[in-house]
């Protein structure tokens, strides 16, 4: 009997507690917080020009550089040419007073063998010179020689008739880039010391060359492009690795992340060629606010293609104002 009473009291207490607690939870709902979407920067994958670039130094030199030497022993007279003086072929440069009585001390005229400019003077008036001694050096500024040394490993890429560009360091804004040159010949013999072969270059645009190129003796850089082709290029940072597979993150319909497995090609200047696995117009995720999961929805923070278009328009407007 006592047990029945205790059981009855316990049931009453449970019912009472239920009645009291029900109003507290009746109107409440558990609201699950929605996480903010991760933000991404995107751009369209388009074919770009890809190539191997080879750069070599060359010196601007004259191919016609003549040393004028004395044919007799005697004393220099009537020297009137200084460094930088222009000369004509056959023009008298100086006289040498013969000191042999057989020739009655008759002065001998020394004439310029070529038209050009005096590059160096080694004597002065009244100086005694011996037969075969150097008097002056003449250079023809219209006859330019350009040569480069090509390493053995580059010879499979560099060929005769290939065009390159002489890079001018002091180019002004808006000026056309560089001077075009062409390889007219490559030596068949490899220098065993340097491991290079000599190639001779020819200026394509002589007029532009005369106007913009530095003075004789200046060292300039010549660049050549080889293996030129169209390719999809992405930054090394946009390549993901999982085991032996490589992938990029792209954006699918509905702003959903899509992982694309790709095959990589050559690497050039911090960029990688994608040989297969993508098509033109594919939306590449360049940057994200957090690690991405295949299939998750994201928010586009910036479209880099639109950003580049704006910059191009602004640059054009600036140029138009100038």
pLDDT exceeds 60 at position 313: no
pLDDT exceeds 50 at position 312: no
**CATH of region 39-50+230-321, choose from 1.20.1740.10, 3.90.1150.10, 2.40.420.20, 3.40.50.300:** 2.40.420.20
- Span 274-290, pLDDT tens digits: 999 988 888 998 888 88
DSSP lists the bridge partners of residue 31 as none
Range in 23-32, 116-125, 201-210 with the lowest mean pLDDT: 23-32
Tell me the CA distances in angstroms from 172 to 90, 212, 224, 259, one per residue in order.
Answer: 41, 11, 22, 45
Nearest to 285 by CA among 253, 248, 322, 240: 248
pLDDT for the residue numbered 193 = 93
From edge to edge, which strands make up the β-sheet containing 74-77? 107-111, 92-98, 74-77, 128-129
CATH number of 67-139: 2.40.50.100
Q: What is the assigned CATH class of domain 52-61+142-229?
A: mainly beta
SS3 content of the chain, % helix, strand, coil (to 5): 20, 45, 35
Whole-structure pTM over 0.75, yes or no?
no
- Span 43-61, pLDDT tens digits: 898 888 888 889 999 998 8
d(CA 47, CA 53): 18
d(CA 58, CA 271): 29
d(CA 40, CA 197): 50
pLDDT exceeds 80 at position 239: yes
DSSP lists the bridge partners of residue 229 as 50
Nearest to 58 by CA among 217, 289, 191: 217
Which has more pLDDT, 171 or 291?
A: 291
DSSP lists the bridge partners of residue 69 as 134
| Token pair belonging to 227 | 């293996």
Residue 36 pLDDT grade (very low, low, confident, very high; cuts 50, 70, 90): confident
Residue 143 pLDDT grade (very low, low, confident, very high; cuts 50, 70, 90): confident
Kindly state the percentage of the chain with pLDDT values over 90.
37
Other residues' Cβ atoms within 10 Å of the Cβ of residue 218: 12
Domain segments of the chain as ranges: 39-50+230-321, 52-61+142-229, 67-139
* pLDDT, averaged across the chain: 82
Residue 120 pLDDT grade (very low, low, confident, very high; cuts 50, 70, 90): very high
């Amino acid at each position: 009997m006592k047990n029945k009473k205790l059981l009855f009291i316990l049931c009453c207490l449970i019912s009472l507690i239920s009645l009291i607690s029900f109003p507290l939870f009746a109107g409440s709902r558990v609201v699950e917080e929605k996480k903010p979407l991760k933000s991404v920067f995107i751009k369209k994958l388009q074919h770009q020009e890809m190539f191997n670039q080879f750069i070599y130094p060359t010196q601007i030199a004259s191919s016609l550089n003549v040393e004028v030497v004395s044919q007799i022993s005697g004393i220099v007279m009537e020297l009137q040419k200084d460094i930088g003086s222009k000369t004509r072929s056959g023009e008298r440069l100086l006289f040498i007073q013969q000191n042999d009585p057989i020739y009655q001390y008759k002065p001998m005229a020394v004439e310029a063998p070529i038209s050009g400019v005096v590059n160096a003077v080694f004597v002065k008036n009244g100086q005694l010179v011996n037969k075969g001694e150097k008097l002056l050096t003449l250079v023809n500024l219209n006859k330019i020689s350009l040569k480069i040394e090509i390493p053995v490993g580059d010879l499979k890429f560099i060929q005769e008739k290939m065009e390159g560009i002489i890079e001018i360091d002091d180019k002004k804004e808006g000026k056309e880039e560089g001077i075009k040159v062409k390889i007219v010949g490559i030596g068949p013999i490899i220098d065993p010391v340097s491991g290079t072969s000599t190639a001779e270059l020819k200026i394509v645009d002589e007029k532009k060359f005369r106007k913009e190129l530095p003075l004789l003796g200046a060292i300039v850089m010549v660049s050549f492009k080889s293996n030129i082709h169209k390719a999809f290029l992405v930054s090394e940072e946009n390549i993901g690795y999982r085991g032996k597979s490589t992938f990029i993150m792209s954006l699918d319909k509905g702003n959903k992340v899509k992982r694309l497995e790709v095959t990589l090609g050559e690497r050039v200047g911090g960029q990688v060629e994608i040989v297969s696995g993508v098509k033109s117009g594919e939306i590449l995720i360049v940057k994200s606010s957090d690690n991405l999961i295949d299939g998750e929805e994201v928010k586009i923070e910036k479209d880099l293609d639109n950003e580049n278009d704006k910059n191009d328009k602004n640059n054009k407007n600036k140029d138009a104002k100038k």
